[in-house]
């Protein structure tokens, strides 16, 4: 095999001088070369053959290279396909001559470096890939290896601007493409599977004939990866991945519930039931224009032509900026297992701006709700009446007369690390701790100045964070490294790292003495209980599927665990270390918080677009409050429990629930992709981790 330095300077076919290696793919290496006749730079794909490859495979690889040239040449006028100029021979092997434009990065590398992309940007990328695939299907060409590494993004600046008018989305590598109707012999044996299994349609794994639906399945997996940062069937081993592809439903999207119909439709096991290209184009177009994190510049959406008849070439394409990318798997799988019954619910419109002053509850018109609220229990109604009498008698009638939370005095923004996820405030309110998922760090905010005064490196993909009752320690759940970092808040450094279960997510510290830390393990379906005196796990408690958020009762006797995968809350008895009760709630519960009096638990349901209100006495859902799409974090005001603040990842807003009426009284706009939320001890400030904008919004109320 040719070495990179040995080959540099070599002239191929008497014309193309090799300059440097750009990458390595499944069939060979890609080089930057200088075309000595036209005095321009091109990309050359070299077919690499190991000496131990059998002769039959040598012929097959050469045939694939020639096939790639022919297939891609038929699509050379398409704006979202890398142009192939020619095929030449050198040393008895073919070299593919392709366009080269500097600055291209493959989608997999972008997600690896920047994290999951905003929904609107992914929808635009999807429209471009879909347009290229559908044009190929109209011409009778199947790609057969659609995956993130074969999608190139070009353009200046960060990934958010790579889908703007200054950049392009390009589909590359038609090396295993197939024309079913061409009459040409297949390049693989009947039992041979060529392509990337991680994104391959199940029918291909069963040995079935590839169809356009197979490419659409791979497109669905690619878009899922761009949105979630992991594949829809990623597992801990190749065998488990294959099993999931063949027999398990895809893990429903966790960050973007509104994309679930599109993704689950494209990832249907049965190709006959799979979403077709025209419906995918319609849904992608709707998602591409949804409000969300703004790109750096306006975007021109590709127009996907309906699948009726071939389309004529549209003339020469302007020069593009694409660098062929290697076919490599770059991101280790980070996955959550969820049940098949997840389906996103119809979502109410999110309120925009401050609502008009509503009349008293008894004067309001009854409005239809997506989720009928169950009747309130008699003891709760009696309690509310008794509370009202007591408040009026005590001169607190003004409290009852407030129909809405007070308008925020201000919403300020603090820049932190990449992809902030969790947030916690110290007991004295002087510091806020923010986990930065992409930066693998914790930003420490001085709440007096609203500035970051320290950044502390922690484990990989930090998620949840909580501060001990005495304020001396902050505990950080590191999802990527399966550990908890213990931060000494006086020294502002990690003084201990504790191994826990797989993919730890939420963390809660026992109130009062702070003797125990409860950590949810998303892939172990368990809660690790850490003894803070020894900094060791002294107990592991099985809970529901894919546990996420966790919160403690004020007396420390109960831990409430939101089970993302099983649509339930596990109530852990902290004395016995066992689950004493399991409470069904909404679909895909994400976060949980407990009222200061311990009588109510508030659970965000990502799949239902609502908050479930649990009565801790009866252990049942007492009410369901619609809050719009993508609810993530929840925090109940610590002073009197009157307000519950819920972050809406998709809406870029915080819904404020009046806990006396269980209705949303106000919606406050914050940064892009709000996730975690926490309140100052006096209840006067709300800290929101804005995942997509790399900031923390501080709401003063």
Contact status, residue 527 vs residue 519, Cβ threshold 8 Å? yes
Distance (Å, whole) CA 396 – CA 161: 53
Distance (Å, whole) CA 415 – CA 655: 22
List alpha helices for 75-159, DSSP H: 107-114, 119-138
Q: Which residues are paired to 645 by β-bridges? A: 635, 656
Distance (Å, whole) CA 83 – CA 135: 14
The two three-digit tokens of residue 600, written as one number? 């109510």
The two three-digit tokens of residue 46, written as one number? 């070299």
The two three-digit tokens of residue 92, written as one number? 């008895």
Burial class from Cβ neighbours inside 10 Å (0-12, 13-18, 19+) for residue 372 reads exposed
The two three-digit tokens of residue 654, written as one number? 């915080």
| Rg from Cα positions in the chain | 28
Residue 629, CB-side half-sphere exposure with 13 Å CA sphere: 23
Name residue, tokens 């932190």. 416
Contact status, residue 689 vs residue 420, Cβ threshold 8 Å? yes
Distance (Å, whole) CA 647 – CA 575: 32
Single out the catalytic residue among 106, 145, 505, 593: 145
Helix (H, G, I), strand (E, B) or coil at 121: helix
* Selection from 652, 656, 598 nearest residue 627 by Cα: 656
DSSP string, 10-26: PEETTTEEEEEEEEE-S
To the query of whether residue 446 is one of the catalytic residues in this protein, the response is no
DSSP state of 150: G
List alpha helices for 489-583, DSSP H: none
At 505, give phi and psi (nearest 5°): -125, -70
Residue 43, CB-side half-sphere exposure with 13 Å CA sphere: 26
174, 180, 183, 187: CA torsion to nearest 10: 50
The two three-digit tokens of residue 399, written as one number? 């409290």
Three-state SS annotation for 496-507: EEEECCCCEEEE
User: Long-range pairs for 478-482 at CB < 8 Å and ≥24 separation?
Assistant: 478/440, 478/504, 479/334, 479/437, 479/503, 479/504, 479/505, 479/522, 480/334, 480/440
DSSP state of 279: H
Is 45 annotated as contributing to ligand binding?
Answer: yes
The two three-digit tokens of residue 36, written as one number? 């000595």
Contact status, residue 105 vs residue 175, Cβ threshold 8 Å? no
* Selection from 540, 553, 555 nearest residue 592 by Cα: 553
The two three-digit tokens of residue 557, written as one number? 């006797």
DSSP state of 465: E
Contact status, residue 154 vs residue 320, Cβ threshold 8 Å? yes
Contact status, residue 467 vs residue 426, Cβ threshold 8 Å? yes
* Selection from 586, 515, 530, 590 nearest residue 560 by Cα: 590
Provide the annotated binding site: 45
Catalytic positions, written as ranges: 145
Question: Which residues belong to the annotated binding site for ATP?
Answer: 45
């Amino acid at each position: 095999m040719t070495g990179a330095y040995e080959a540099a300077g070599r002239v191929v076919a008497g014309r193309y001088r090799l300059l440097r290696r750009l990458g390595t793919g499944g069939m060979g290496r890609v080089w930057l070369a200088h075309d000595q006749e036209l005095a321009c730079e091109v990309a050359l794909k070299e077919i690499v053959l190991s000496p131990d490859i059998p002769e039959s495979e040598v012929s097959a690889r050469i045939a694939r290279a020639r096939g790639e040239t022919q297939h891609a040449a038929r699509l050379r006028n398409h704006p979202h396909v890398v142009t192939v100029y020619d095929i030449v021979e050198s040393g008895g092997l073919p070299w593919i001559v392709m366009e080269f434009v500097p600055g291209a990065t493959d989608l997999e590398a972008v997600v690896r470096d920047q994290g999951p992309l905003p929904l609107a940007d992914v929808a635009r990328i999807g429209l471009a890939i879909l347009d290229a695939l559908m044009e190929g299907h109209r011409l009778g060409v199947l790609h057969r290896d659609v995956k993130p590494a074969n999608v190139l993004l070009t353009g200046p600046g960060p990934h958010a601007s790579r889908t703007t008018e200054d950049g392009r989305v390009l589909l590359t590598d038609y090396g295993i493409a197939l024309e079913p109707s061409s009459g040409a012999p297949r390049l693989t044996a009947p039992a041979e599977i060529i392509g990337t299994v991680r994104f391959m349609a199940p029918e291909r794994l069963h040995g079935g004939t590839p169809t356009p639906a197979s490419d659409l399945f791979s497109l669905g997996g690619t878009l899922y990866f761009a949105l979630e940062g992991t594949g829809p069937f990623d597992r801990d081993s190749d065998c488990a991945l294959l099993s999931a592809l063949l027999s398990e439903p895809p893990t429903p999207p966790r960050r973007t519930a509104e994309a679930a119909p599109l993704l689950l439709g494209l990832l249907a096991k049965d190709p006959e039931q799979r979403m077709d290209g025209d419906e995918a184009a319609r849904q992608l177009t709707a998602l591409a224009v949804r409000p969300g994190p703004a790109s750096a510049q306006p975007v021109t959406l590709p127009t996907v032509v309906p699948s009726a008849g071939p389309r004529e070439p549209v003339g020469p394409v302007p020069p593009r900026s694409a660098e062929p990318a290697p076919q490599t798997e770059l991101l280790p799988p980070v996955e959550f297992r969820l049940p098949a019954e997840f389906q996103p619910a119809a979502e109410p419109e999110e309120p925009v701006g401050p609502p008009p002053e509503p009349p008293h509850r008894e004067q309001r018109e009854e409005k239809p709700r997506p989720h009928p609220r169950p009747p309130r229990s008699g003891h709760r109604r009696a309690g509310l009446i008794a509370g009202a009498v007591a408040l009026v008698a005590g001169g607190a009638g003004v409290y009852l007369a407030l129909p809405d939370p007070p308008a925020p005095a201000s919403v300020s923004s603090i820049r932190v690390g990449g992809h902030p996820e969790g947030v916690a405030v110290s007991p004295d309110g002087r510091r806020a701790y923010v986990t930065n998922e992409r930066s693998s760090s914790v930003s420490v905010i001085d709440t007096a100045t609203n500035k970051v005064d320290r950044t502390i490196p922690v484990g990989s993909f930090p998620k949840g964070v909580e501060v001990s009752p005495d304020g001396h320690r902050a505990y950080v759940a590191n999802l990527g490294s399966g550990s908890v970092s213990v931060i000494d808040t006086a020294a502002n450094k990690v003084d201990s790292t504790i191994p826990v279960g797989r993919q730890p997510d939420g963390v809660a510290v026992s109130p009062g003495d702070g003797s125990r830390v409860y950590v949810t393990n998303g892939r172990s379906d368990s809660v690790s209980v850490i003894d803070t005196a020894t900094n060791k796990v002294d107990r592991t408690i099985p809970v529901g599927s894919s546990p996420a958020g966790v919160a403690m009762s004020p007396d420390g006797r109960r831990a409430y665990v939101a089970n993302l995968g099983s649509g339930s809350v596990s109530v852990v008895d902290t004395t016995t270390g066992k689950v004493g009760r399991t409470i069904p709630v909404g679909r895909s519960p994400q976060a949980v918080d407990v009222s200061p009096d311990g009588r109510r638990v508030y659970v965000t349901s990502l799949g239902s677009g609502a908050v479930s209100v649990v009565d801790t006495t009866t252990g049942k859902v007492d009410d369901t409050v619609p809050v719009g799409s993508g609810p993530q974090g929840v925090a109940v005001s610590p002073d009197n429990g009157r307000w519950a603040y819920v972050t809406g990842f998709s809406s870029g807003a915080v819904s404020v629930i009046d806990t006396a009426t269980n209705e949303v009284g106000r919606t406050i706009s914050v940064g892009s992709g709000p996730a975690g939320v926490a309140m100052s001890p006096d209840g006067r400030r709300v800290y929101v981790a804005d995942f997509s904008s790399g900031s923390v919004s501080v709401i003063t109320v």
